[in-house]
Structures are given as C-alpha cells and as structure tokens.
Amino acid sequence: MSTLIIINPNASQKVTDGIDAAVEPLRRFGIPIRCLTLAEGPPGIESQRQADQTIAPMLRLAAAQTDAAGYVIACFGDPGLHALRDQTSLPVLGIQEAAVMTALTLGQRFGVIAILPPSIPRHLRSFGAMGVLDRLAGDRALGLGVADLADPDRSLAAMIATGKRLRDEDGADVLIMGCAGMAQYRDPLCDATGLPVVEPCQAAVSMAMGHIALGLSHSVERSDHAG
C-alpha cells in the first residue's frame, strides 16, 4: 500500500521520533505513514542557510521512496517545498504552509511561537509570499535552540510565556507551534492560554491525507511515484 512520507530535513532522530509520535493519532485513517530523517541535514535548522542546504539531499531522499503516495516536509519554513513539487506530481505539503492554512480556519489572527530570533525573518518571507501578513498577529521567539527543547519543563514554561504575550500583547486568537516535534506541549499550551493551538506536523499530515484520498495534487499530471 502506498505510504505518506514525512521527511525531517535535520539530522536529529529525536526530532523525527517526536514527529512520528505527533502523527500517531492520524494513522487511524488507514494511510501508512513513514517518518524519515535526513542524515545529511544539520542537527537543527535555525537559519535560511541551513534550510537551503538541505534541499538537494532531501530531493534525493524523496525520489528514493518508490512507494510514496505523497510527502510532508517537516520543517517550519518549508525548505524545498516548491522544488519537491517540481520533482513529483504527488501531493507535497509543507508544515508551515499547512499550519497557517489550518490556523486561518480557527481564528482571525494567528501568532507563531518560533524557536530562535533568526528564524523569524525566514517565517515572515514565507507569510508575505502566502499573502497572509494581514492575519499575522506576531511571531515571537522562545530563545531556545533545538537541543534546548529536550528540557520539557523549560520548553513548556517558555512556550506558555510566549503564547500569553502573543495573546495579550499582539492580539492572537490562535497559536502555531513554529517547530516540528513539539506536539507533547500542544494540550498544556492550549489549556494555559485558552487558545486553539496548531501543531504543524499534524496539520500537514491531516491535509496530505485528504489530498491523497481525494486525488488532489498541485499537478494536473498525476503519477504513481516520485520522478
């Protein structure tokens, strides 16, 4: 049976494991899901340069998955999204794009919880290209690197504080977690802020499954494998 392929463009297996756990509830819909780690990627993607360097090896990894029914790029920033769409006619979803589209159905103004300040310009360029800057309440950084997220108490406290600032100071009425692999914090963050919280991997996989089930694609020429 064809499989939805999720590619983590960084080299952290722990992040990939977190992504796999985040999408576990969606396996009930019957489409197999396989999460892959890009061995050539950096330990964490925290800059545009690092994001761009993952694109070529990610395209090669995607092309090697001959049983693919579709792809999800599991990095907030969607590196290589349009390149992979050029490579295949199968559905290709980026977690940032899917998270924003989902957030727009849950509130009027979305706030993004980023990891580090250098990520924010990268996010804003994408939001501008998507034409959604007028719906963006704010994009605030935790000030924690990808490795720092391994401390659950520190991570959750920082997310709650940042989420409340986005709510109270920026006027956000829906929050987006601006990094993959943080799904374990979604429910407590929602409880602490009183706002709906979008976990981007879950949003992208949900959308990808709908595309696969309905035969939707960015390309009018459908194919059965990447190429």
Walk me through the domains of the chain, giving residue ranges and CATH numbers.
3-94+202-214 (3.40.50.12500), 97-200 (3.40.50.12500)
Using the CB atoms, write b or e for 47-85: b if 16+ within 10 Å: beebbebbbebbbebbeebeebbbbbbbbbbbbbbeebb
DSSP code of 184?
Answer: G
- Which of 107, 101, 91 lies closest to 127, judged by CA? 101
Higher pLDDT, 54 or 148: 54
Mean of per-residue pLDDT scores for the chain: 92
Q: How far apart are CA 47 and CA 34, in angstroms?
A: 26
The pTM of the full predicted model, rounded to 2 decimals, is 0.92
Give the pLDDT confidence score for residue 1 in this predicted structure. Answer: 67
pLDDT for residue 23 = 96
Per-residue pLDDT tens digits for 6-59: 999 999 898 899 999 999 999 999 999 999 999 999 888 877 889 999 999 999
- Separation CA 177–CA 164 (nearest Å): 13
Supply the pLDDT for residue 145.
64
Which residues on adjacent β-strands are paired with residue 129? none
